[in-house]
Amino acid sequence: MKIHIKNGRLIDPKNGIDAVQDIFIAKGKIVAIGAAPDEFQASRVIDAQSLVVCPGLVDLSVRLREPGLEYMATLESEMAAAVAGGVTSIACPPDTDPPLDEPGLVEMLKHRAKSLNQANVYPIGALTQGLKGERLTEMAELNDAGCVVFGQPDGLLPNLRVLMQAMLYASTFGFSVWLRPQEITLTGDGVAHDGEVATRLGLLTVPVCAETIAIGNIILLTKETGVRVHLCRISSAEGLAMIRSARQQGLPITCDVSINHLHLSDMDIGFFDSNCHLMPPLRSSSDRDALRHGLLDGTIGAICSDHAPVDEDAKLLPFGQSEVGATGVELLLPLTLKWGSEMRLPLLNVLSKITLDPARILGIDAGHLSLGSAADICIFDPDHYWKVTSSAILSQGKNTPFMGMEIPGGVKYTLVNGHIVYEH
């Protein structure tokens, strides 16, 4: 299909474009910007008057719940939710059941995702077998099967020798290691930030030092091995300061933050709102403010949704017993726009944090609208506000702390490889 998108405000962070320009698509690629190519006859014209045309969003953490956890969500429901949110590239953590530690499982997931003809899925391979932290996976074989990076999503490995071996292995092959910096021996059964709110509610806590001690170990091992490391879901001001210092020393370390931690603090737990049961936990308001500014100075490289749909009954349990996680892939764009508006940032800079910058961290060719690139495009109305309700969310998981809130940014069209996969 040949598509002509006209009259839209084209925003492309890579090429520094923020202007009203037409874009022309043929054979799944962007073939022209501005003027139409010779003899171009569009089979579909999209009038994007008063709309923003930007690269498709790249989300660094979307749990698709397949294989094995289909009672929480299905591949069909979460892929539909992704494209409804303008997300065209997804990094899928390996904590499925069984984990993504075998090439066959990765190939099956890639095949299932491709058959749906929606967002591009990039599996994160398990760093250790069964994610148990004992024996390394065959990273080279997993890479051949389609894993682009390797990670351990539930905290730092208990055995630092195994972690060092994993980092050396990854460094040898040029792979990136993704770790969530949390010292599990300090986390225990904690469910909330070690602060005033948890004390008042009588909740078991996760201290900030659980994050900073893990970051310190990772920094030292990065110096030793030279591997590229990405730290997932930074939550504290102290941890952020350590990463900033490491980056200033030239260490190959990047990090991201979840959209939840940009807007919420432990005060939002209120009276045991289990939708705020997240991991890492929501920290203090001063931590939240530090994270918001960490994006401005480039210490934090990207914003992700940390999408984790769960069964409704699992969120009806008491706070400490409820399932961890929040749905968010459809809220990534609106909540990022909300952050950008509050920080008074140019839209070009705001969108870079959910398009070009995460694509660079993931190591994929996405997040831009260059000539000849795949036509992965999001078209949205920045002035359209919509209310977060169960019926408005396509994800099978309805668990979000933002339920009932009105947020900006309604996605009108999503294109993947030149095909319209979502149309409002």
CA-only gyration radius of the chain, Å: 21
Side-chain half-sphere CA neighbours of 102 within 13 A: 9
Residues 160 and 163: their CA atoms lie apart, in Å, by 5
Which residue in the block uniquely carries the two structure tokens 């602060």?
A: 195
- Do you find a cis peptide bond into 67, omega within 30 degrees of 0? yes
- Do you find a cis peptide bond into 98, omega within 30 degrees of 0? yes
> Rounded to 5 degrees, what are φ and ψ at 247?
-65, -35
Residue 226, both tokens: 């030279």
| Residue (of 124, 137, 171, 132) closest to 155 by Cα position | 132
Residue 404, both tokens: 């009932």
> Rounded to 5 degrees, what are φ and ψ at 239?
-60, -40
Kind of pairing between the strands at 377-387 and 406-416: antiparallel
Residues 262 and 295: their CA atoms lie apart, in Å, by 10
Q: Long-range pairs for 400-406 at CB < 8 Å and ≥24 separation?
A: 400/275, 400/326, 400/327, 400/328, 400/331, 401/260, 401/264, 401/268, 401/273, 401/275, 401/276, 401/326, 402/263, 402/331, 402/335, 403/275
Kind of pairing between the strands at 23-26 and 3-6: antiparallel
Q: With beta carbons less than 8 A apart as the criterion, state whether 377 and 40 touch.
A: no
Q: With beta carbons less than 8 A apart as the criterion, state whether 99 and 93 touch.
A: no
| Residue (of 333, 83, 125, 414) closest to 75 by Cα position | 83
Residue 99, both tokens: 């984990």
Number of neighbouring beta carbons within 10 Å of residue 248:
9
Is residue 306 flagged as an active site residue?
Answer: yes
Determine which one of 306, 365, 381, 383 is catalytic: 306
- Which residues are part of the catalytic machinery? 306
